[in-house]
Amino acid sequence: MLELTQQIVNGLSLGAIYALIALGYTMVYGIIKLINFAHGDIMMVGAFVGYFSLTMLGTNILIAMLTAMAACAILGVLIEKIAYRPLRNSTRIAALITAIGVSLFLEYITIFILGPSQKVFPDSAFPIKAYDIAGLSILNKDLFVFVSAVVLMLILQYIIKWTKTGKAMRAVSLDQEAAVLMGISVDKTISITFAIGSALAAAAGVMVGVYYNTVNPLMGIIPGLKAFVAAVLGGIGIIPGAMVGGFVMGLLETMVSGYGNSLYRDAVAFGVLILILLIKPSGIFGKDTGEKV
């Protein structure tokens, strides 16, 4: 029982990271119906910005996270403006292929500039401590990841539910043409969505750096795919769904590596994806909508 609780504790912090990345996927999908393949790579860029902020500017971890979030918010807006906006009226496949292109571009431009080797996150930025609570060993990095993720999610909920921007985002995702008629600037709203989603991914990137202790140019691929699975699991386009999906994926993954074969860890994520797609493609929170001709 104790071991199970321990696994759950470990899974929660990983799940929080997935949930943060999944939120960006889901927000972008909700608003322009595009699977932003480059999202995981934005997370990678965020992790590197955090890394350089820690090592070269010597900031503390919170400042590093904020810097990364700001930098990636700008990056996200730029990507949308340059690559996705010209394709808004073309086929979904064209947009998806472009997203794959953006993803490859971010990965290999980073390799080109920084080299393919991985970099070790400085220990001094975040000295590891373990707390013993009721027989459970909780690392301070797990706590940090979990708490900051939850804080960010609460802020996001506030923005979406209570601010004018949030209302505009919900309106555009519901019906773009009607939103335009109501005087909402669709372009601006989409830009803001990309900015918020990318900032969350950047925060997740810094957390991954703290969590796994290393960053490398291809680090975004697998967490990106898993977060995507989380978003689909919760129901893509639905914000609470992404959070729940993220935590489920994190827990599932820790359970599989804790009790089963860790080599199958990645396959499990994809297996889950296929099961959802076959059984209920709209996800846990999704509603089935009929096909319109």
Partner 1 sequence: MQKNKLIKFSTEVIILAVLFSLVQYLITTGLLNQYYQINLTSMCINIILAVSLSLINGFTGQLSLGHAGFMAVGAYASVIVTNMWDYPFIAGLLAACAAAGLAGFIIGVPTLRLKGDYLAIATLAFGEIIRVTLQNIDYVNGPAGILGIAKLTTWPWLFGATVLTILVAVNLINSSYGRAIISIREDEIASELMGINTTKYKVLAFVIGAMFAGLAGAMYAHYFYIIKPETFNFLKSFDILVMVVLGGLGSTTGAIIAAISITALTAALQSFPAIRMILYALILIIVMIYRPQGLMGNKELSLKTFGRIWSGRK
Is 271 a binding residue for partner 1 by CB under 8 A? The answer is yes
Site for partner 1 in 144-203 (CB under 8 A): none
Judged by CB under 8 A, the residue of 13, 26, 53, 98 near partner 1 is: 98
Site string for partner 1, 13-52 (x = CB under 8 A): ---------------------xx-----------------
| SS3 assignment for the chain | CHHHHHHHHHHHHHHHHHHHHHHHHHHHHHHHCCCCCCHHHHHHHHHHHHHHHHHCCCCCHHHHHHHHHHHHHHHHHHHHHHHHHHHCCCCHHHHHHHHHHHHHHHHHHHHHHHCCCCEECCHHHCCCCEEEECCEEEEHHHHHHHHHHHHHHHHHHHHHHHCHHHHHHHHHHHCHHHHHHCCCCHHHHHHHHHHHHHHHHHHHHHHHHHHHCEECCCCCHHHHHHHHHHHHHHCCCCHHHHHHHHHHHHHHHHHHHHHCCHHHHHHHHHHHHHHHHHHCCCCCCCCCCCCCC
Is 78 a binding residue for partner 1 by CB under 8 A? The answer is no
Is 54 a binding residue for partner 1 by CB under 8 A? The answer is no
Judged by CB under 8 A, the residue of 111, 139, 150, 160 near partner 1 is: 111
Is 285 a binding residue for partner 1 by CB under 8 A? The answer is no
Listed ranges 103-111, 133-141, 170-178, 197-205: which one lies at the site for partner 1 (CB under 8 A) = 103-111
Residue ranges binding partner 1 (CB under 8 A): 34-35, 83, 86-87, 90-98, 100-105, 107-109, 111-112, 116, 225, 228-229, 232, 261, 263-264, 266-267, 270-271, 273-274, 277-278, 281, 291, 293
